[in-house]
A and B are shown apart, each in its own frame.
Chain A
Amino acid sequence: MSEPLLSVRSVKSFYGHIMALRGVDLDVHQGEIVTLIGANGAGKSTLMMTIFGDPRAREGRIAFRGRDITHLPTHEIAQLRIAQSPEGRRIFPRMTVRENLQMGALASNEVHFQDDLERICAYFPLLKQRLDQRGGTLSGGEQQMLAIARALMSRPQLLLLDEPSLGLAPLVVKRIFDVIRALNMDGMTIFLVEQNAFHALRLAHRAYVMVNGTITMSGTGKELLARPEIKAAYLEGGRH
């Protein structure tokens, strides 16, 4: 198999003295949708942020396109065409939608701004009508779309999405998952963290399960969907 786009090897990271990641191994290959599922507090968001160096991995190695990024400052990692829509969306509330997108375009060349805006708004037609509205006035679903769009503005090769469906109505969730699928069809590699395991496993090529800061299971989405222990732990309970 070719070299992975993202590789995480024996990564440990800490909040103070508390170990949140206890040696994580994981790969994302070009063109894949890889999902990471796990209960609340398992360490999924910590992994997403550790990839960006905040908190920084104290042990192990993280490589993007073969380059060791374990010790790079966060803003330099962001400039390597790896983008994240983080947990909680983190839209700049007192900036307009356009300015939020301009912030996303920082790592790419702002010269492409208008082209990229058109291209990305094709996935999110709603945003197009909201360009001059403040981020803080958008609905939860619109904010999530903006967070993804903002991440896309940097022309990333790898898109990290942390719980994009959290707190959204079922119809909006479906819309978001449709967009994720469409993005992948168009060539985007996606690393998706989800508590909504059912949706995520159906969408993903491959999946990992995290428990207490370590990966306990991995396989294709279909394989994991069929496993009884996954059903018991994440599907029946998780879907409500």
Chain B
Amino acid sequence: MEYFVQQLINGITLGSIYGLIAIGYTMVFGIIGMVNFAHGDVFMLSAFIALILLLALTQMLGITPLALALFIVLILAMLLTSLWAWAIERLAYRPLRGSFRLAPLISAIGMSIFLSNLVQVTQGPRNKPVPEILNGVFTFGDPEGYTVTLSYKQILIVAVTAVLLAAFWYVVQRTSIGRAQRACEQDRKMAALLGVNVNRTISLTFVMGAALAAVAGLLFMIYYGVVHFNDGFVPGVKAFTAAVLGGIGSLPGAVLGGLLIGLIEVLWSGYFSNDYKDVATFSILVITLVFLPSGLLGRPEVEKV
């Protein structure tokens, strides 16, 4: 029982990170119908940005307390990563809009390779260690037998994710910016007829997705304690799987999908085999695409007008 609870905690933590990344996939797909293959690498890039910022703030500038430093890192990483995503959309995707369908997709794959190579060249091919921070844990249960531990990091991850998702949900559902985004997603031509600047709204969607990916990048870096230039790929595909499982285009779906993928991955490696945990998630991608292409919370294609 304790073991199960422990896996549950670990799964939710991991799932939060996947959910944050998955939102970027699902929003961009919703608004321009494109899978942004470079999104995983934007996430990886953001983890490096966060690491560099963290080192600069804590070791060079000596900013304390740690909470303040982390908060500044969070904000700056979100801004810088958003800027990257904005530039990528502007340079690599927008000129190809209205071209043949596969063109932006191919451009995205190119961008993905570019970003991981850029980080490899500038930051080196080896794992980058992250300073040891937030190492405390709470321990529950019988000290003689099995115990359940809840680390500070896990609390931070789940709390930050929950707060940001709530803020994000508010923007999308309740503000005129979010309304314009949903309008573009449902009928871009009509949105323009009503005065929505569609290009700007699409840019904003990339920026928002990247900002959440940057949160995920920071949390990922803290949680695992190392970052590597190739870290965009596997988490990226898993988050994409989460978006597909939840129903691509659906925001609650992306979060639900993220949590499920996190739980499945952790439970799989906890009860079966650590070796095949990635295979397990990718099998889910295939199974979902074959049997439930509109996902758990997605709407079936027929409802589209």
Which residues in A have some Cβ–Cβ distance to B below 8 Å? Answer: 52, 54, 73-76, 78-79, 84, 86, 90, 92-95, 99, 102-104, 106-107, 110, 136, 150, 154
- B16-24, B186-194, B272-280: which lies at the interface: B186-194
State the CA gap A154–B183 with chains docked (Å): 16
What's the minimum C-beta distance from B146 to chain A, rounded to whole angstroms?
47
Q: Which 8 pairs, one residue from A and one from B, show the smallest C-beta to C-beta distance?
A: A78-B195, A107-B195, A90-B190, A74-B192, A92-B186, A106-B195, A79-B195, A75-B197
A92–B193 touching, CB < 8 Å:
no
A52–B195 touching, CB < 8 Å:
no
Q: Is B305 an interface residue (CB 8 A)?
A: yes
Partner of B180, one of A84, A94, A106: A106
Category for how many chain B residues contact A:
10 to 19
B182–A107 touching, CB < 8 Å:
no
A74–B305 touching, CB < 8 Å:
no
What's the minimum C-beta distance from A112 to chain B, rounded to whole angstroms?
14
A107–B194 touching, CB < 8 Å:
yes
Closest to B190 in A: A90
13 A-B residue pairs with CB within 8 Å: A54-B192, A75-B195, A76-B195, A78-B195, A86-B189, A86-B193, A92-B187, A95-B179, A95-B183, A102-B179, A103-B180, A103-B194, A136-B305
What's the minimum C-beta distance from B53 to chain A, rounded to whole angstroms?
36
What's the minimum C-beta distance from B303 to chain A, rounded to whole angstroms?
8
A90–B182 touching, CB < 8 Å:
no
A93: B residues at CB distance < 8 A? 186, 303, 305
A154–B182 touching, CB < 8 Å:
no
A86: B residues at CB distance < 8 A? 189-190, 193
State the CA gap A110–B177 with chains docked (Å): 13
A95: B residues at CB distance < 8 A? 179, 182-183, 186
State the CA gap A131–B180 with chains docked (Å): 18
B305: A residues at CB distance < 8 A? 93, 136
State the CA gap A110–B197 with chains docked (Å): 17
State the CA gap A205–B198 with chains docked (Å): 36
B135: A residues at CB distance < 8 A? none
A94–B192 touching, CB < 8 Å:
no
Closest to B182 in A: A95
Whether A99 touches B192, Cβ cut-off 8 Å, given contacts A90-B187, A92-B187, is no
What's the minimum C-beta distance from B29 to chain A, rounded to whole angstroms?
15
What's the minimum C-beta distance from A77 to chain B, rounded to whole angstroms?
9
State the CA gap A86–B194 with chains docked (Å): 11
B198: A residues at CB distance < 8 A? 75
What's the minimum C-beta distance from B204 to chain A, rounded to whole angstroms?
14
State the CA gap A76–B198 with chains docked (Å): 11
Closest to B187 in A: A90
State the CA gap A222–B190 with chains docked (Å): 34
Q: Is B99 an interface residue (CB 8 A)?
A: no
B190–A92 touching, CB < 8 Å:
yes
A154–B195 touching, CB < 8 Å:
yes
A52–B193 touching, CB < 8 Å:
yes
Interface string of B4-28 (1 = CB under 8 A from A): 0000000000000000000000000
Closest to B305 in A: A93
State the CA gap A78–B179 with chains docked (Å): 17
What's the minimum C-beta distance from B304 to chain A, rounded to whole angstroms?
8
Partner of A75, one of B182, B187, B192: B192
State the CA gap A116–B191 with chains docked (Å): 20
Partner of A54, one of B183, B186, B189, B195: B189
- Additional pairs, 6, CB under 8 Å, beyond known A52-B193, A86-B190: A93-B305, A95-B179, A95-B186, A103-B194, A106-B176, A154-B195
Partner of A74, one of B179, B182, B186, B193: B193
> Would you list which residues of chain B between 171 and 211 have a CB under 8 Å from chain A?
176, 179-180, 182-183, 186-187, 189-198
A92–B182 touching, CB < 8 Å:
yes
Closest to B201 in A: A75
What's the minimum C-beta distance from A107 to chain B, rounded to whole angstroms?
4
State the CA gap A76–B183 with chains docked (Å): 17
A78–B183 touching, CB < 8 Å:
no
A106: B residues at CB distance < 8 A? 176, 180, 194-196
B179: A residues at CB distance < 8 A? 95, 99, 102-103
A78–B193 touching, CB < 8 Å:
yes
Partner of A92, one of B176, B183, B192, B197: B183
